[in-house]
Amino acid sequence: MRVLFVLFLLFGPVMASAQGAATLVADNVTLNGEDQLIASGNVEVLFDGSRLTASQITYDQPSDTLRVVGPIVIQASDGTILTASSATLDPRLENGILQSARIVLDQQLQLAANQIDQRDGRFSQLYKTTATSCRVCGTGPPLWDIRAERVVYDAQDQQIYFRNATFRVRGVPVLWLPYMRLPDPALERSTGLLFPEQRNTTQLGFGLKLPYFITLGDHRDLTVTPYVSPETTTLELRYRQAFTNGRITAEGAVSDDTLVAGDRSYLFADGRFELRDSYQLIFDIETVSDKAYLLDYGYADKDRLDSAIQLLRVNDTALYNARLTYYQTLRDDETNASLPPFIADVAYEDSFAPVFGGLIHYGTSFDMAYRTSNTDGDTGRDVSRLGAKGDWSDSRVLPYGIIADTQIGLRADLYVVNDDTAFAQEDLRVAPSTGVTLRWPLARVGSNGTSHLLEPVISLTWSKSFGGTHPNEDGLRTELDRANLTAVSRFAGEDRIETGAQAAAGLTWTRFGAGGVTSTLSFGRVIRQETQDGFTATSGLNGQQSDWLVAAQVTAPGGFLIDARSLWDDNDGLTVADSRVAWQNDRVALGANYVWLSPDAGEDRDSTISEWTVDAAFVLNDAWTFEIDGRYDVAADEPSRAGVGLQWQNECVTVNVSASRRFTSSSTVDATTTFGITGSIGSFASGQTAGSPATGCGN
């Protein structure tokens, strides 16, 4: 019969400085004289969050020691596990010697030694040690391990120090170091070397990146990465800092290579801060020394950079936004001076419900487009706009279930134009508008649980613009889709509005399957009183009659999605088609897009565009993951880019192998092939967890 014995009397003097007494549980507890206690049979000792189990414990009061006979398992309050065959410890389990012992840190890294000396509950000194996070099968060597003459584990600083260490792979020595330091797997941030990355490109040759992570307190860190190859010497930097009300991140690089004369560099930085009264300060900086640098080194594939600072406030009814943006073009056919490079915009919007019903929405805004060139015309034009708007909207349910949405609005805009004699220097535009949209949802539920919803919709709108003609600096790319079919104006920006009387009609059929499959099919078209300027041929909105809009979507349980949209002209047939297929579950993540665009001089497109884009990942099993991505130009019958990646991971090692090819080239960038190999050792790499797939042990 097991006996519970709380050692207040025997351990009382020893535990006087502790927060509580030790508790001993055993099958048998005997006193040998007046100063020795012997516990045997399923022994457990609990003290200050630590737990010790053994087959026998002898406590000697004169020497204040515990002599423990194994098998011994000690579970510390921080999750560290120690096992041993025998041990001599103090009652606090803080000092002592363990024979044939093993330490398991964070359920990942195990250190086995002939002997472990514990000091002050903080330091563990191990002799003739083997360290690994791999599963050890029988007497065979693990996939990797570190053999060291002596190891010191500092539990307080969470650091492991190795002396005379040899790194081995399958028992074969590959690297010897007289001294090395590694962090405890439970330590999230620690100064030290990160795992290297091999990168091989046709332009830069075989190169190696060796990142070094530096902690700068609890809330800051810096990563310095030298990158060396026969064609380049590069230093990459990343800085991060967290504040009580926000954070900032900055990354960049400086290179001296054989591709371009002189130094090359880039800098990307961003930050977000929460201010008083729900305001947010947001900024980002993007700059690069030359147009090809980002693509040559694989840092980004952007063809325009934007640096901005923004003050934003959003609540249930109101929006305040102030932003200043600077654009830098990386395109061969553009210059910064003509973009325009500087865009400033300020907007305030609010709404309230009046006593007579409905909702009133109002706002003011200011925006400016500034070009550094003083040339007359498009390349030097500067435009400023100050505007105000207001509208009232209401929604009512009419007889027979018809839903009527009504809107009445008025806006006024003052334009100031400089460096372009084709437009008046000042122009005031006033534009009233009104519209009503009628929807008639018709539903039916089948006997098998499938339901259908048929919703015809018709919209009648009118708008008029009073004032002169001003330039269009925004809203240059607008297309007809399901979201703007019944809108009063379908221009994306503020400079253009649709005028005259318009009628839009559409029909949407939605099927809700009993098995969870939902499908939607939509048709629609717009008919106008007068032709609108500013829409391109493939926007679907040019002319008095728009193209036919046909859109469909299918969703199914298990993360499956098909989404498609097309525009059809009465004379030319199909003008635009885009579709997406997506499927995501525990084993598959698939995204495929297809785009078809007919030629359109208004969008600087002389020939048909027909492209496939694929991005997919497949979990083959618990260890292997395969990834592919690509972009194929069907019209030119040639690929634009392609990539493949393969990852192998178990409980102690992760290896990534990748290859990519950019087939396109220009006057500033060349086609490039890149190969990369990266790896990490379990327990010492960010993102590694104890739940990583474990290799099995064969019979």
In a domain, 381, yes or no: no
E-strand stretches of 158-230: 159-169, 172-183, 192-193, 197-201, 205-209, 212-215, 220-229
**575 compared with 336, residue with greater pLDDT:** 575
395 forms beta bridges with 405
* Residue 77 pLDDT exceeds 80: no
Could you tell me which residues come within 8 angstroms of residue 49 by beta carbon, excluding any fewer than 6 positions away?
76, 77
For residue 301, the model assigns a pLDDT of: 87
Question: Between β-strands 653-662 and 638-649, what pairing exists: parallel, antiparallel or unpaired?
Answer: antiparallel
* Residue 19 pLDDT exceeds 80: no
- Same domain for 6 and 65, yes or no, is yes
For range 181-194, the mean pLDDT: 83
**Up-side HSE of residue 144: CA atoms within 13 Å toward CB?**
16
* Residue 354 pLDDT exceeds 90: yes
**437: phi then psi, degrees, rounded to nearest 5:** -125, 130
For range 46-60, the mean pLDDT: 84
Share of the chain above pLDDT 70, in %: 94
User: pLDDT digit string (tens) for 257-272?
Assistant: 999 999 999 999 999 9
Distance CA 84, CA 153 (A): 17
542 forms beta bridges with none
**Would you state the structure tokens that stand for residue 287, as one six-digit string?**
């700059």
Distance CA 163, CA 152 (A): 9
Which of the listed residues 187, 208, 225 is the one where a domain comes to its end? 187
Share of the chain above pLDDT 90, in %: 50
Q: Which helix (H) or strand (E) holds 307?
A: strand 304-314
- Same domain for 116 and 89, yes or no, is no
* Residue 355 pLDDT exceeds 80: yes
For residue 666, the model assigns a pLDDT of: 75
| Number of domains the chain is built from | 2
**Up-side HSE of residue 134: CA atoms within 13 Å toward CB?**
25
Band the pLDDT of 8: cuts 50, 70, 90.
very low
For the chain, give the mean pLDDT: 87
User: Which of 59, 60, 61, 92 lies closest to 74 in space, CA to CA?
Assistant: 92
For residue 694, the model assigns a pLDDT of: 56
What is the CATH classification number for the domain harbouring 60? 2.60.450.10
User: How buried is 228 (Cβ within 10 angstroms: 0-12 exposed, 13-18 middle, 19+ buried)?
Assistant: middle
For residue 7, the model assigns a pLDDT of: 39
CA distances from 72 to 43, 54, 69, 573 (A): 10, 5, 7, 81
For range 79-108, the mean pLDDT: 83
For residue 317, the model assigns a pLDDT of: 87
Distance of CA 242 to the CA centre of its chain: 18
Distance CA 538, CA 566 (A): 11
- Same domain for 158 and 128, yes or no, is yes
* Residue 20 pLDDT exceeds 80: no
- Same domain for 82 and 154, yes or no, is no
For range 602-607, the mean pLDDT: 85
* Residue 696 pLDDT exceeds 60: no
* Residue 251 pLDDT exceeds 90: yes
For range 168-190, the mean pLDDT: 86
- Same domain for 154 and 82, yes or no, is no
- Same domain for 79 and 130, yes or no, is no
**362 compared with 338, residue with greater pLDDT:** 362
For range 403-421, the mean pLDDT: 95
For range 455-462, the mean pLDDT: 96
In a domain, 278, yes or no: no
88 forms beta bridges with 67, 97
In a domain, 112, yes or no: yes
In a domain, 380, yes or no: no
User: Which of 51, 47, 50 lies closest to 20 in space, CA to CA?
Assistant: 47
Band the pLDDT of 686: cuts 50, 70, 90.
very low
User: pLDDT digit string (tens) for 528-575?
Assistant: 988 888 888 899 998 899 999 999 999 998 889 999 999 999 888 999
User: pLDDT digit string (tens) for 377-408?
Assistant: 888 899 999 999 999 999 999 999 999 999 99
Handedness of CA 676, 681, 685, 687 (dihedral sign): positive
For range 135-156, the mean pLDDT: 85
Its pTM stands at: 0.81
* Residue 601 pLDDT exceeds 90: no
Band the pLDDT of 65: cuts 50, 70, 90.
confident
* Residue 206 pLDDT exceeds 70: yes
In a domain, 444, yes or no: no
**683 compared with 428, residue with greater pLDDT:** 428
Distance CA 608, CA 597 (A): 6
* Residue 25 pLDDT exceeds 60: yes
In a domain, 316, yes or no: no
CB 294 within 8 A of CB 286: no
Handedness of CA 600, 604, 609, 611 (dihedral sign): negative
For residue 123, the model assigns a pLDDT of: 87
E-strand stretches of 48-139: 50-60, 65-75, 81-89, 96-105, 109-119, 123-132
For residue 683, the model assigns a pLDDT of: 60
**447 compared with 645, residue with greater pLDDT:** 645
CA distances from 42 to 1, 25, 61, 71, 82 (A): 11, 8, 22, 10, 17
Distance CA 376, CA 382 (A): 10
* Residue 13 pLDDT exceeds 50: no
In a domain, 400, yes or no: no
Band the pLDDT of 289: cuts 50, 70, 90.
very high
For residue 698, the model assigns a pLDDT of: 55
User: pLDDT digit string (tens) for 314-331?
Assistant: 998 899 999 999 999 998
Q: Quote the domain boundaries for residue 136.
A: 106-187
For range 519-530, the mean pLDDT: 94
- Same domain for 85 and 146, yes or no, is no
- Same domain for 81 and 116, yes or no, is no
In a domain, 357, yes or no: no
For residue 11, the model assigns a pLDDT of: 40
Which of the listed residues 60, 93, 126 is the one where a domain comes to its end? 93
Which of the listed residues 93, 124, 146 is the one where a domain comes to its end? 93
Distance CA 145, CA 113 (A): 13
Band the pLDDT of 693: cuts 50, 70, 90.
low
- Same domain for 38 and 114, yes or no, is no
